[in-house]
């Protein structure tokens, strides 16, 4: 018996709503090790004889323990698994803070051009002038959009970009000989978990700033924390409550006055690009998630890229490798410490995620400057449309309009016996990936909904109708629909805590 079949018989019947998401044609799927065999191979090769032994005593004497599959078996295994995935190409994906927007196929087409896709990082630079030129163009656009002085392209994710920015800040503090005394990094309680993790990994001590009743930095508490031991503040804007930090300029000025640096988490650039310049906010370092704002596939669909823009105070510390030169004289890569004495080191072996650079530049150039501004406007408009449609049945966490994501708490579920978790699971039966839940931590039973600008009015309405119907069902006492959910997914409720704490990463026969 397969793991997926165990509770089929005892599973409650799907509701009428979920019937449209039939799973009848989906076959059960085992692990590769359950499907394949050690003596199967996808290719037929003659056993070689009379070949000189070039491995000597290094030759393996025991089987690898790996299984083989034929080509159709392999394909079917992965295609079946892919059908068990929810994807942005299947429907609205309201995962707040993650910016799951449509990935234009033009990006994909250009990323697959052989001149970009088939080159190797160790090729002589004279043979990859076009690729280096493209990286130079990506840098140009990111600096135009943010108004900043330099950009490090190599970080391979948002959190990696945070690490890059904080390493630059650390290097600047070290150069001034203040590393011993500047140990504290201020992080608002609403911050993404990666912010305090990054600061801690860079050797700093985290000091939390509480949020005020409006969901923004509590300025009195912030002022009280300032002192000569401040290394930096890590602030997200718009913050993870979906709100613009209205005191951001004052916060930057005060941190600077106390000799600290301002790290801005720019994962949410989606909401402000073309509307306000990051430089004018007093930012010293900020990562930009290409995979969020500039629509490169992520979340199981592809790698990330987190270029980090820097102010003139930090530019010198940017990591190797980076592109130098120009089209007229030829591009080159600065790769060696003597080419940049202040560089704090490297973030990765080569120069970053080439495929993501191609996709992001395609996105930027196909939108143009005014198109990128409209992306921000439409992202904010769509989130506010959902907020307006949902606010009477749900309980918005904060009064007023939002930026690119709408945040609700669980007051509307009070007394229903339905929790945020149950509600999210019920959404799966309706054909939607759940919204981000229980984050940010400052809001009780949080539900963070980010529709992005790529959803049509029709799709927003369809989602809002589903959400409203679910809220009414919860309030009318239809509790089992929630506590039993998901009824239609291949797996029901998983012990996610156990899975995270005790992951089973090896297969045993
Ligand atoms: C997504 C996100 C990050 C981390 O980005 P990764 O690419 O997942 O490492 C950091 N901060 C915020 C606010 C985010 O939304």
Architecture of domain 370-501 in this structure: Alpha-Beta Complex (3.90)
In angstroms, what is the span from residue 221 Cα to ligand 1's centroid?
Answer: 26
Query: Which ligand 1 atom is nearest residue 161's CA?
Result: 9
| Residue 154: per-residue pLDDT | 96
Say if ligand 1 is within 6 A of residue 304 CB: yes
Say if ligand 1 is within 6 A of residue 295 CB: no
| Residue 17 confidence class, pLDDT cut points 50, 70, 90 | very low
| Residue 14 confidence class, pLDDT cut points 50, 70, 90 | very low
Segment 135-156 mean pLDDT: 98
Query: Which ligand 1 atom is nearest residue 162's CA?
Result: 10
Cα angle for residues 216, 220, 225 (degrees, 5° grid): 100
| Residue 357: per-residue pLDDT | 97
Please state the separation of Cα 266 from the chain's center in Å.
Answer: 11
Q: Please state which CATH number belongs to domain 106-365.
A: 3.40.640.10
Cis-peptide into 273, omega within 30 deg = no
| Average pLDDT of the chain, as a whole number | 92
Whether the per-residue pLDDT at 129 is higher than 70: the answer is: yes
Q: Which of 96, 99, 159, 405 to mutate to test the pocket of ligand 1 (most atoms within 8 A of CB)?
A: 159
Is residue 383 within 8 A of residue 407, CB to CB? The reply is no
| Residue 26: per-residue pLDDT | 61
Contacts 24+ apart (CB under 8 A), 275-280: 275/373, 275/376, 275/377, 277/146, 277/147, 278/145, 278/146, 278/147, 278/148, 278/309, 279/146, 279/147, 279/148, 279/311, 280/147, 280/249
Question: Following CA atoms 441, 443, 447, 449 in sequence, which dihedral angle do they give, to the nearest 10 degrees?
Answer: -90
| Residue 488: per-residue pLDDT | 86
Segment 288-304 mean pLDDT: 86
| Residue 23 confidence class, pLDDT cut points 50, 70, 90 | low
pTM of structure: 0.90
| Residue 3 confidence class, pLDDT cut points 50, 70, 90 | very low
Sequence spans of domains, the chain: 106-365, 370-501
Choice between 168 and 33, residue whose per-residue pLDDT is larger: 168
Residue position matching structure tokens 């969020």: 292
Whether the per-residue pLDDT at 12 is higher than 60: the answer is: no
Segment 291-314 mean pLDDT: 90
| Residue 25 confidence class, pLDDT cut points 50, 70, 90 | low
Mean pLDDT comparison of 25-29, 86-90, 389-393, highest-scoring range:
389-393
Say if ligand 1 is within 6 A of residue 289 CB: yes
Segment 129-140 mean pLDDT: 98
CA-nearest residue, atom 1 of ligand 1: 98
Lowest pLDDT segment from 55-59, 136-140, 176-180, 222-226? 55-59
In angstroms, what is the span from residue 166 Cα to ligand 1's centroid?
Answer: 15
Lowest pLDDT segment from 66-75, 336-345, 391-400? 66-75
Segment 267-293 mean pLDDT: 96
Whether the per-residue pLDDT at 218 is higher than 70: the answer is: yes
Lowest pLDDT segment from 60-64, 198-202, 374-378, 478-482? 60-64
Could you tell me which residues come within 8 angstroms of residue 180 by beta carbon, excluding any fewer than 6 positions away? none
In angstroms, what is the span from residue 475 Cα to ligand 1's centroid?
Answer: 34
In angstroms, what is the span from residue 272 Cα to ligand 1's centroid?
Answer: 16
CA-nearest residue, atom 4 of ligand 1: 158
Lowest pLDDT segment from 211-220, 294-303, 396-405, 471-480? 294-303
Segment 121-129 mean pLDDT: 95
Of 385, 485, 398, the closest CA to residue 434 belongs to 485
Please state the separation of Cα 62 from the chain's center in Å.
Answer: 41
Query: Which ligand 1 atom is nearest residue 289's CA?
Result: 7
| Residue 280 confidence class, pLDDT cut points 50, 70, 90 | very high
Say if ligand 1 is within 6 A of residue 307 CB: no
- pLDDT tens per residue, range 233-248: 999 999 999 999 999 9
Residue position matching structure tokens 């001149």: 115
Whether the per-residue pLDDT at 84 is higher than 90: the answer is: no
Lowest pLDDT segment from 6-15, 362-371, 402-411? 6-15
- pLDDT tens per residue, range 169-191: 999 999 999 999 999 999 999 89
Choice between 34 and 400, residue whose per-residue pLDDT is larger: 400
């Amino acid at each position: 018996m397969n793991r997926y079949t165990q509770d089929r018989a005892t599973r409650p019947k799907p509701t009428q709503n979920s019937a449209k998401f039939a799973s009848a044609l989906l076959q059960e799927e085992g692990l590769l090790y359950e499907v394949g065999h050690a003596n199967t191979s996808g290719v037929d090769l003659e056993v070689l004889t009379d070949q000189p032994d070039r491995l000597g005593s290094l030759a393996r004497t025991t089987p690898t323990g790996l299984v083989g599959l034929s080509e159709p078996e392999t394909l079917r295994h992965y295609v079946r698994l892919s059908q068990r995935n929810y994807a942005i190409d299947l429907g609205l994906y309201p995962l707040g803070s993650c910016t799951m927007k449509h990935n234009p196929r033009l990006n994909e087409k250009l990323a697959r051009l052989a001149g970009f896709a088939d080159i190797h990082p160790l090729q002589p630079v004279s043979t990859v002038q076009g690729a280096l030129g493209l990286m130079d163009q990506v840098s140009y656009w990111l600096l135009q959009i943010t108004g900043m002085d330099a950009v490090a392209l190599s970080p391979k994710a948002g959190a990696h970009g945070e690490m890059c920015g904080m390493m630059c800040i650390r290097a600047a503090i070290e150069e001034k000989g203040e590393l011993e005394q500047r140990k504290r990094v201020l992080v608002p309680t609403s911050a993404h978990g990666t912010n305090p993790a990054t600061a801690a990994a860079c050797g700093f001590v985290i000091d939390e700033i509480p949020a005020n009743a409006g969901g923004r930095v509590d300025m009195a508490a912030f002022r009280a924390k300032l002192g000569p031991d401040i290394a930096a503040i890590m602030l997200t804007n718009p913050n993870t409550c979906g709100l613009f930090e209205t005191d951001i300029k004052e916060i930057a000025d005060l941190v600077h006055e106390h000799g600290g640096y301002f790290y801005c988490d720019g994962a949410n650039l989606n909401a402000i690009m073309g509307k306000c310049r990051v430089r004018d906010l007093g930012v010293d370092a900020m990562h930009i998630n290409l995979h969020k704002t500039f629509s490169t596939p992520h979340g199981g669909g592809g790698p990330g890229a987190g270029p980090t823009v820097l102010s003139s105070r930090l530019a010198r510390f940017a990591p190797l490798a980076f592109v130098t030169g120009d089209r007229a004289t030829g591009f080159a890569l600065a790769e060696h410490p003597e080419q940049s004495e202040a560089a704090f080191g490297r973030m990765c072996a080569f120069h970053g995620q080439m495929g993501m650079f191609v996709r992001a530049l395609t996105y930027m150039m196909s939108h143009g400057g005014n198109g990128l501004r409209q992306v921000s406007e439409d992202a904010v408009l769509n989130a506010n449309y959902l907020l307006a449609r949902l606010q009477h049945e749900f309980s918005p966490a904060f009064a007023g309009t939002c930026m690119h994501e709408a945040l609700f708490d669980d007051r509307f579920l009070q007394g229903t016996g339905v929790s945020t978790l149950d509600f999210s699971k019920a959404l799966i039966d309706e054909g939607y990936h759940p919204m981000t839940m229980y984050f940010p931590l400052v809001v009780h039973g949080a539900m963070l909904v980010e529709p992005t600008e790529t959803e049509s009015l029709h799709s927003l309405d369809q989602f809002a109708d589903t959400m409203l119907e679910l809220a009414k069902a919860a309030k009318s006492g239809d509790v089992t629909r929630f506590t039993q959910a998901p009824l239609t997914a291949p797996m029901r409720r998983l012990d996610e805590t156990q899975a995270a704490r005790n992951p089973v990463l090896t297969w045993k026969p």
